[in-house]
Amino acid sequence: MTSPADVLYADNPAWADVTPLPQYEGVNPLAPILYTEEYKDATDYFRGIVKTGEKSPRVLELTEKIIRLNPAHYSAWQYRFETLKAVKVPLEDELKLMDELAVKYLKTYQVWHHRRLLLTESYNLEPKRELEFIAKSLKADTKNYHTWSYRQWLLAFVNDGELWVGELDFVEEMLNEDLRNNSAWHHRFFVVWLGGGGGGMGVGGTREEKERVLRRELTFTKQLISLAPNNPSAWNYLRGVLDRTETPYGLILPFVRLYIVNLSDRAGSTDIVDVENPPPSEGAQLPCTAALEFTADAYERQGDDEGRKKAVELWKVLANEQDTIRKRYWEFRIRGVEKKVGA
Amino acid sequence: MSTSSHTELPALARAGHAAHCKRCLSGLPGSQVEVDGARLALSFYCIGSLDLLGVFFEKTSQFDREEWREWIWEQHISGKYGTGFRPSPFMTTAGIAEGYEYTDYDTPHIIMTYTALLCLAILRDDFSRLDRTGLTTFIRACQREDGSFSTVPGSGEFDLRTLYCAFAISSMLDDWSGINVPRAVEFISTCRTYEGGYGQSPFCEAQGGTSYIAIASLHLAPSSFLPNGPLTPAERELTVNWLLQNQAPSGGFKGRTNKEADACYCFWCGAGLHILGAKEFVDKQALAGFLASCQFKYGGISKAPGEHPDPYHTYLSLAALAMYSPYTEGAEGNEATWQFESLDPLLNAKESTARWAREHIPARSIATTGHGVGVE
Ligand SMILES: [Zn+2]
């Protein structure tokens, strides 16, 4: 694949046997693209190749050229994949090229789709190499949706116990870099609660195991909340875990309450650090909106008038002070329970 | 209602945004080559923007409109997987009149088919040329074992977007025979996440765009397929909560938790909330304020303040405003520039355009009028 980039296929003797086919445009088109000479030339030859059905090494060169000019050219990707299978190129060579292209065109769907196809078709799959590659590309773009999706797909596809276990360390590494990376939080949920990383949480698993995992996840989440209280990703995860395990919200109110009062208001209560209920880091902005919301929900779920009244008080704080952009929503919640109070 | 931010809202540069879209329709620079495989979708964002601004027929000539209609119908192709629309003739070497038949590398595309139908509805086409039976065959050819849909028949490229297109097309056709609906609905449910949103495919992170797609699809499906409703009350509450959480203090919506606000998510999240009956909870003054700041000085709307505009973000911003217009009856000055005709959030088109589509695309429209020419 060494043909000089500036030579057009039309001027290249090695391609003289192919009849280039120009694009048909028909009537005055909508949003026509003023193609570069290079792109027009390459795609003319590509249409010519598709017409004859040729699948040979030089087609790999041609499709690579088109992909580099337009990584979203899905027909070039599709034809390339079929050609790879036909000429039996070692998968490793193609993956090496993809390592480069994936970083270059990180946001292009096709790059990742092609990689998936390669892995699916491969018999000597090396998932560890893939996970390392993904970890490396996530360094360049820590929240890239395609990259994370690919990791999730790969783990589910391979479904190997050992791989699952390593994922928790990976998530922690990502969260160490950025506690607010929601993709990492989501990945943790996927690994622990849907995949095989929870010690049997996904399928089966004994009661004791489940309780151990729940405790571990709650401790982990609380610790990260204490480091950065105003982090919706962590609170969403906390709620997700409680919902998933049907754990009553009220059970962790002793922890959450620490995040709705000012430090000065609870002087004396932090003499002994309770590991189950780590307090907010110094200088944290309190009250924490997510904690107010959580506490109100917990009160509402008590199902009695006292709980409802307490919830209303908190929603008023949200509506009028803490979260005014959603004022109408909190007022709606207030109306919803006020109808029930004393009913 | 807060009125303080009211007075500060600058004008919506309607003429500038219309000009941006018209410019793109007439031609794109070579640097935009990535649009090659999605030109019909881009055309939809341009034509759709003009439609939302209410100037489509005023700002385009009869001559142009006729040619555009012809060009779109040229992308309507039939072959072994049925009939649909391709993105552009980027893989085509001859016209249909010359006996051209599509190959495996130039098939109809499901997303382009959805956008083509909407473009034609905006052009007020009578759809007499639509191969309706071929269209259901094509949709069927795109559905996969797991209930999802591929972009083109046989390709492994699939996600929730394609499923929505299949649902929207079937809804416009008023014919669901091309879809195994229960299986598709099952696929949607596997994309739901603990946050209350939906990911692009199973196991993926909740995202505003795919959440809209999931919610809209569940509401487009005939209720006979959903005996328990589109969502349970608990699911609905969680989803509303998450969508609302995405409205940032700037007024714009984020696409994912802890990301930056982006103009397109004002539509995706906003439309999701509208469909779920939670429209009133959106702070529309703040939303308009954010979109105002995304306006590019030479026309067009960008994803965030200071970025370059494109038809995609322009269209979706205008569509968001058509649902959440800050305009109040009788207002003058800057505020008067923010007035819109309302939007059909399920099909993502202006209400009158959606109505045209629903009146002219179903097979019965031919049965009642002879040639598919609408009575209205
Ligand atoms: Zn965007």
Q: Which of B36, B92, B156 sits opposite A24 (nearest CB)?
A: B92
For the record, the structure tokens of B93 come out as 């070497």
How far is the C-alpha of B237 from the C-alpha of B220, rounded, in Å? 20
Protein residues near ligand 1, an ion, with CB under 5 A: B 262, 264, 303
For testing contact with chain B, the best of A144, A243, A325 (most B CBs within 10 A)? A325
Torsion angle of the four alpha carbons A63, A66, A70, A73, in this order, in degrees rounded to the nearest 10: -40
Beta pairing partners, B84: B77
B205 in contact with chain A, both atoms CB, cutoff 8 A: yes
With CA atoms as reference, report the closest residue to A234 among A259, A197, A210, A209.
A259
Within 8 A by CB and 6+ apart from B206, the residues are A186, B193, B195, B196, B197, B198, B199, B242, B256, B257
- Helix then strand then coil, % of chain B, to nearest 5: 55, 5, 40
How far is the C-alpha of B179 from the C-alpha of B135, rounded, in Å? 11
> Which is catalytic among the residues A51, A85, A104, A107?
A107
Q: Where are the domains of chain A?
A: 1-89, 260-343
Beta pairing partners, B295: B301
Backbone angles phi, psi at B297, to 5 degrees: -65, -25
Q: Where are the domains of chain B?
A: 6-25+35-365
The DSSP H or E segment spanning A255 is helix A253-256
B195 in contact with chain A, both atoms CB, cutoff 8 A: yes
How far is the C-alpha of B347 from the C-alpha of B152, rounded, in Å? 21
The DSSP H or E segment spanning B170 is helix B160-173
ω into residue A287 within 30 of 0, thus cis?
A: yes
For testing contact with chain A, the best of B281, B282, B303 (most A CBs within 10 A)? B281
Contact across the interface for B204 and A152, Cβ inside 8 Å: yes
Q: What is the pLDDT along chain A (343 residues), one digit of tens a residue?
A: 445 567 999 999 999 999 999 999 878 899 999 999 999 999 999 999 999 999 999 999 999 999 999 999 999 999 999 999 999 888 888 999 999 998 899 889 999 999 999 988 876 778 999 999 999 999 989 999 999 999 999 999 999 888 898 999 999 999 999 999 999 999 999 999 988 766 545 545 678 888 999 999 999 999 999 999 999 999 999 999 999 999 999 999 999 999 998 644 555 555 566 878 999 988 888 999 999 999 999 999 999 999 999 999 999 999 999 999 999 999 999 999 988 877 6
Contact across the interface for B36 and A33, Cβ inside 8 Å: yes
The predicted model scores a pTM of: 0.94
How far is the C-alpha of A184 from the C-alpha of A233, rounded, in Å? 9
Q: Which fold has domain B6-25+35-365?
A: Glycosyltransferase (1.50.10)
CA B268 to centroid of ligand 1, rounded, Å: 10
With CA atoms as reference, report the closest residue to A339 among A306, A298, A305, A315.
A305
Within 8 A by CB and 6+ apart from A29, the residues are B39, B71, B88, B89
**Model ipTM value:** 0.94
For the record, the structure tokens of B124 come out as 């007020």
Could you give the angle at which helices A57-69 and A74-87 cross, rounded to 10 degrees?
Answer: 160
Query: How many interchain CB pairs under 8 A, A with B?
Result: 192
Roughly how many angstroms between the first and final C-alpha of chain A, as a whole number?
78
Contact across the interface for A149 and B199, Cβ inside 8 Å: yes
